[in-house]
């Protein structure tokens, strides 16, 4: 009898908690903020694999890059990283994503390459393929 009562109480609690939990979880789609951070992690992974094509696939069609080098700058950077056995690391621990319409800004993002460190803002744009990197505004 005690076991039956406990089972009934557990069932009742589940019935009360389940709808609240589902509402809290939402639709299961990642937020714009989560998608933006995932994009930067994917970019970091592509650069670590020295895969210029994978990195360029994450860029907007009108990607400006750092210092206005465009997509060609990505190829040069990957070649340089490979030649020097370096990796691009993005520290996103303090990064905040702000979204206004079809533009997201992620800052501060600390870029580390060996001993070199720079901080900046990644500017993203929403495309029909999801968020893509439009440019990087670096500060030293």
Q: Can you give the three-state secondary structure of the chain, one letter per residue?
A: CHHHHHHHHHHHHHHHHHHHHHHHHCCCCCCHHHHHHHHHHHHHHHHHCCCHHHHHCCECCCCCCHHHCHHHHHHHHHHHHHHCCCCEEEECCCCEEEEECCEEEEEEEEEEECCEEEEEEEEEEEECCEEEEEEEEEEC
pLDDT digits (tens, 9 = 90+) for 17-41: 444 454 455 678 999 999 999 999 9
Domain ranges of the chain: 30-139
Q: Average pLDDT of the chain?
A: 86
Q: What is the pLDDT of residue 26?
A: 62
Is 90's pLDDT higher than 50? yes
Q: What is the pLDDT of residue 1?
A: 54
**Contact call for residues 134 and 63 (beta carbons, < 8 A):** yes
Q: What is the pLDDT of residue 18?
A: 45
Can you name the CATH fold of 30-139? Answer: Nuclear Transport Factor 2; Chain: A, (3.10.450)
Is 15's pLDDT higher than 80? no
Average pLDDT for 82-109: 97
Calculate the dihedral angle through the C-alpha atoms of 113, 114, 115, 119, rounding to the nearest 10 degrees. 20
- Whether this prediction's pTM lies above 0.85 is answered by no
**Contact call for residues 135 and 123 (beta carbons, < 8 A):** yes
pLDDT digits (tens, 9 = 90+) for 64-87: 877 777 888 999 999 999 999 999
């Amino acid at each position: 009898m005690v076991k039956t009562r406990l089972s009934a109480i557990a069932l009742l609690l589940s019935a009360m908690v389940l709808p609240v939990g589902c509402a809290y979880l939402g639709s299961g789609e990642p937020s714009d903020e989560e998608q933006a951070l995932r994009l930067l992690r994917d970019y970091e992974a592509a650069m670590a694999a020295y895969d210029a094509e994978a990195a360029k696939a994450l860029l907007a069609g009108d990607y400006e890059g750092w210092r206005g080098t465009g997509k060609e700058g990505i190829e040069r950077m990957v070649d340089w990283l490979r030649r020097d056995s370096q990796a691009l690391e993005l520290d996103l621990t303090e990064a905040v994503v702000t979204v206004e319409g079809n533009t997201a800004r992620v800052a501060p993002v600390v870029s580390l390459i060996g001993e070199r460190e720079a901080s900046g803002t990644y500017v993203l744009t929403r495309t029909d393929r999801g968020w893509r990197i439009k440019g990087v505004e670096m500060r030293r």
